[in-house]
Structure formats: C-alpha cells, structure tokens
A = this chain, B = another copy of it.
C-alpha cells in the first residue's frame, strides 16, 4: 500500500485530476486492477491503444498513462513518459517479495552452519539449509526449504525462493532472484567412454556458475556448472522457467530467455538477445548481440549478424516465412493438379 503522492514520486508521474480538478493525493492505493475491473482504491494503467475503449468507463482511482491518452481519462491521471515501465515500477509496492529485508529474522526450523556469519539484515525461513562456508549479503531472503550448499557466495538484497538449490561454490551478485525449484550449479553433462571398463566415466565438473547483478531466474530451471572454467550469466539477464543451460555456456548482459529454452555446452549468447520459448541451441556457437530468436527454432550454428531468426534449422525470419508459404502453395498446387 502506498499513497498516491508517494507513488507519483517513485514513478516520476505528473498527477492530473479529471478535468483538471484538484486531487487528494494522500489517498492510499491498495493495489492494481485492470481498467475494466478497478474500484475505488485501486490503480490501473494503459500502455496499449488496444485497451483505450476501456479507459472511458474505468472506476479506478487513478490511471497510469502517457500524455497522448490524457484527454480520454475520466479519472485522476498519473502521466508518465513510459506507462509500461511505470506500471512495472509501481508493482514493486504491491509485492509479496520485498526488495530487501530490514531485520535479522532466522526461523528456528532452518539450519545454518556455525561457520556462516550472517549479515545484519537477513531472512532465513523454515526448512532452509545454509551449509558451511556460505557468505550472504545484507538484505537477502532465503525462503522455505531452499538450500545453499557449501561455500556459496550470495550478494545483497537477493531473494532465493522456495525449494531452490544453489550448489557449492556458486557466486551470485546483488539484487538477484532465484525462482522456486531452480537449480544453480548442477553437474555438467560430460562423460568419457572407458573402453576398458566398457562404460561411461563421468567428468566431475570443476567450474562453478557465476551470476552478475540484477539477474532474475524463474522456476525449475537447471543451470550447470562449467567443466573447468565457469558458466556465466551477466548482469540484467532474465530467465523464465524450465530452462536448460549447459556447462560453460554464457549469457550476455540484459538478455532475456523465455520458458523451456535449451542451451547445449559452450553456447555463447550476446547482450540484449531475446530468445522465445522452446528454442534450442546446439552448442559451441556464438549469438550476436541484439538478435531475436522466434519460438521453437533450432539454432544449429553461430549467428554473426543481428536479426530475427526462426525455423529448424534456423534462418532469417523473412526467409522462414517465405519457405513456409512456398510449401503451402506447393501443397495446394499438388492437390489442384490431382483433381484435374
């Protein structure tokens, strides 16, 4: 909960009453709702022209929007330059997930090894386990039944969600979120064939996973440690759910990966790349900064030129679309010919 005036400060909004009427900015906003559902103490936002028709009948206390839509707003407006960003910023004030904790709150049913020196402000919930040698930054939260294995280094203001597993020696920066059930630092999939014993001999991976600042990783991901060097996730990266990131792969700054993406070993993805769901990377390749990969594409080699790619194997999206269209035309022709 936050007052309208405080909210304006945080998102940098200009507060404008309906028909320029004066606004009581001391009112408390209790949460967000859609334009069409919002009631008295709720706030809504409009960032997409598609929803403009919902604006005129909204019962929201106030609406976050850009100047273009101001004339159409029947209630108090919070005018910003980027309504979608302002919405994102505002959601932080109605979140179950604190950006930081301001006290030391250790649950008696957690287990923290005696070698661990806890910071002044930290929350460790029931069933959480923190093993020897771990180092945890100030303001960090370790949720119920999460585990930090030996010698994990965790930055400030992090949030390790329920049932997450951070394996030994991994390093995580500040303001990071590791989602529920995610595994950071599992063994890589490397194994040598032993001709004498006629079976596999696994490599015990010597590297770790190193994660920068402001990285958010979703639920039930599996991120493998490196064989000798480390697996690396740079600052600002966003990862969705159920993503497979193999040993020694690398994700550049601010890149975003959607659900079920799979990266084979030594895949190097550049900065600000956007990867849609279920995309596969065959490994041992580099992906240019600012590239976009469409859903379910299979990337079989390096992408040197930024662009939008799709298909199996991947190609530029305009070629992929033409290919799909060509096939469907051929198919249609084939059956027209048969009918003759």
Our pick among B127, B206, B253, B258 for the contact of A147 (Cβ within 8 Å) is: B127
Q: Is the CB of A206 within 8 A of B254?
A: no
Residues of B within 8 A of A216 (CB): 187, 191, 200, 202
- Chain B residues whose CB sits within 8 angstroms of the CB of A218 once the complex forms: 186-187, 189, 222, 224
Chain B residue contacts of A278, Cβ below 8 A: 262, 278, 280, 298
Report if A183 contacts B (CB, 8 A).
yes
A1 near B: Cβ within 8 Å? no
Say whether A91 contacts B205, CB under 8 Å: yes
B181 in contact with A181 (CB, 8 Å): yes
State whether A88 and B201 are in contact (beta carbons under 8 Å apart), knowing that A145-B147, A186-B219, A219-B222 are contacts in the complex: yes
- Mask, A270-308, CB within 8 Å of B = 1, is 000000111010100000000000011010100000000
Task: Say yes or no: A244 contacts B262, CB within 8 Å.
Answer: no
A167 to B163, CA, bound (A): 11
A89 at the B interface (CB under 8 A): yes
Contact of A95 (CB < 8 Å), options: B129, B182, B204: B204
- Are A256 and B94 in contact, with the CB atoms below 8 A? no
Q: Among A13-21, A114-122, A330-338, which stretch is in contact with chain B?
A: A330-338
Among B96, B192, B298, point to the contact of A168 (Cβ < 8 A). Answer: B96
Give chain B nearest CB distance to A190 CB in angstroms. 8
Q: How far is the CB of A54 from chain B (nearest CB, A)?
A: 12
Q: Which of B31, B97, B204 contacts A97 (CB 8 A)?
A: B204
A198 vs B193: C-alpha distance in the bound complex, in angstroms?
A: 47
A23 at the interface (CB under 8 A from B): no
The answer to whether A111 has its CB under 8 Å from any CB of chain B is yes
Q: Are A295 and B322 in contact (CB under 8 A)?
A: no
Contact with B along A138-165 (1 / 0, CB 8 A): 0000011101011000000000011101
Residue from the set A194, A224, A240 with the largest chain B CB neighbour count within 10 Å: A240
State A206–B97 Cα separation when bound (angstroms): 11
Partner among B127, B238, B264 whose Cβ is within 8 Å of the Cβ of A295 = B264
A residues lining the B interface (CB < 8 Å): 31-34, 37, 82, 84-85, 87-89, 91-92, 94-97, 107, 109, 111, 125-127, 129, 131, 143-145, 147, 149-150, 161-163, 165, 167-169, 177, 179-183, 186-187, 189-195, 198-206, 214, 216, 218-222, 224, 228-229, 235-236, 238, 240-242, 244, 246, 253-254, 256, 258-260, 262, 264, 276-278, 280, 282, 295-296, 298, 300, 312-313, 315, 319, 322-324, 326-328, 330-331, 334-335
26 contacts between A and B (CB under 8 A): A84-B192, A85-B193, A85-B201, A88-B202, A107-B111, A126-B129, A127-B147, A131-B144, A145-B165, A149-B162, A163-B181, A163-B183, A177-B187, A181-B183, A181-B222, A183-B241, A189-B258, A189-B259, A199-B254, A200-B238, A218-B222, A259-B264, A264-B277, A282-B295, A326-B327, A327-B327
Query: 8 tightest A-B contacts by CB?
Result: A222-B241, A95-B204, A186-B219, A244-B259, A88-B192, A219-B222, A111-B126, A91-B204
